[in-house]
Homo-oligomer: A and B are copies of this chain.
C-alpha cells in the first residue's frame, strides 16, 4: 500500500496481477483461488444433493465480487447482517439479499425500504429478520413511507427469528413467534416468509456428536413453532439458518430449507479445529496472511503481522506449512507483530526476511481488516497473482 496517492488500493494493486506470489508485499491477505473454487464447488454439490438452497453469508467476505462468484457457483443469493452491507452488495450487482438480523433505527429502516424498492425494479428481492412487535411496526412504517416512483407500495419478505440456542437475538420458539407472525400479517407491505433459526454457538462446538445434538434440539424447536403457526392457517414457506460448523446437521434435518454457510469458502483455523463430521465436504484453507520475519534472535523471530492484520477473537493464527508440518508456533506480539517460536527441538528460528503464511483464527473479522484480497492461482509457492478482490463492504457497520 502506498498512501502518498489517493488512488484506491484496489487500483494500486492491479499491477501485481500476473506477477509471482513472491511479489506480494507483507502483510497482505491472500486467497488461494484454486482452493476457494474447490470449496465452492463442494458446497454447491452438497446443497444440491440435500435438496436445500444455499444462501451464502456475505458478512464473511464483505465483497460483492465474491458474492457474484458464489451465485455463479449455485448460491441463491446472500445474507448480510447490516443495512450498509446490503447496500454494498446491491451496488455491486447482487440483487437477492436477506438481512438476517434485526434493524431498529428509523433512519436505517428508511434505507431498507429504499433498497427494497430499488431491488424490486431490478427483479431482485430484499428480506429481513424481526424479533419484536416494535420492530415489525417500525419496519411497516418505513415501508409505508417509501413508495415506488409510480406511487405503489413496496413489499418486503420478513422472517421471524427464533432463538434455537444461541442466546442472542430471536424470540423464544412457540407462541411468541406465532404472535409476531400475526403482527407481520397486519401490514400489507410485509410478507411473512418463514423462520430464521441460526444456532451460532453450535458452529464452534468441537465434538461432531454434540453439534448434532444441538441442531436436533434446534430442529425440534423449529418444528414445534412451525406447527403452531401452520395451525393458524399460515404456511411457513422456509426455515433458514446453519453455518459451516453445523450445516450437515441442518441439511439432514428435513426442516431447514436454506443454509447460510459462508466461512467454508475460506476455512479458518477455528473451524478447522472442529472434529469433522463424516458427512461434511472437505473444505480447504483458502485464506492466508502473507507475512515476513523482520527481527530474528536466538529464541524467537518476529513477523510483521499482528492483530491489525488478522482477528484474534477466535484464537491466534496457525503458521501454515506446505506439508502441514507443525514447525512454528505463533504467539501474540501485539497490534503489528507476531512472535514465532520453533514448535519442537531441532527446528530453527526463521531467518530475517523469511516469508511465512498464517491461517487466521477467524476469517470474518480478518477480512474486515483489509480493503483488498489478493487472489492467487497455482499455489502459494509457485503461483501467480490472478486478481485483486475489493472488500467493498469493509467497515460497513451501520
Q: Which residues of A contact B (CB under 8 A)?
A: 1-4, 9, 25-28, 59, 81-82, 84-85, 87-88, 90-91, 101-105, 107-108, 111, 115, 118, 131-132, 134-135, 167-171, 200, 292-297, 300, 302, 305, 307-309, 311-313, 332-337, 339, 352-353, 364-365, 368-371, 392-398
Contacts and interface: CB of A to CB of B under 8 A. Distances in A.
A50 B394 CA distance: 43
A168 B294 CA distance: 11
A352 B295 contact: no
Contact of A295 (B169, B312, B392): B169
A295 B102 contact: yes
A167 B88 CA distance: 43
A392 B3 contact: yes
Nearest to A362: B335
A82 B334 CA distance: 14
Given A1-B84, A3-B396, A102-B295, 11 more contacts: A1-B395, A2-B111, A26-B105, A28-B397, A169-B294, A169-B337, A307-B313, A313-B332, A335-B368, A370-B397, A394-B395
A24 to B, nearest CB: 10
Given A91-B3, A397-B27, A293 B169 contact: no
Nearest to A371: B395
B336 A59 contact: yes
B334 A91 contact: no
A90 B2 CA distance: 11
A268 to B, nearest CB: 12
Contacts of A335: 59, 81, 313, 364-365, 368
B395 A87 contact: no
5 contacts: A81-B335, A168-B339, A308-B397, A313-B335, A370-B395
Contacts of A337: 168-169
Contacts of A364: 308, 335
* 3 A-B pairs with the lowest CB-CB distances in the bound complex, closest first: A3-B88, A169-B295, A3-B87
A295 to B, nearest CB: 4
A344 to B, nearest CB: 20
A293 B104 contact: yes
Nearest to A2: B87
A336 B27 contact: no
A352 B104 contact: yes
Contact of A398 (B27, B167, B394): B27
B365 A294 contact: no
Contacts of A167: 300, 339
A292 B1 contact: no
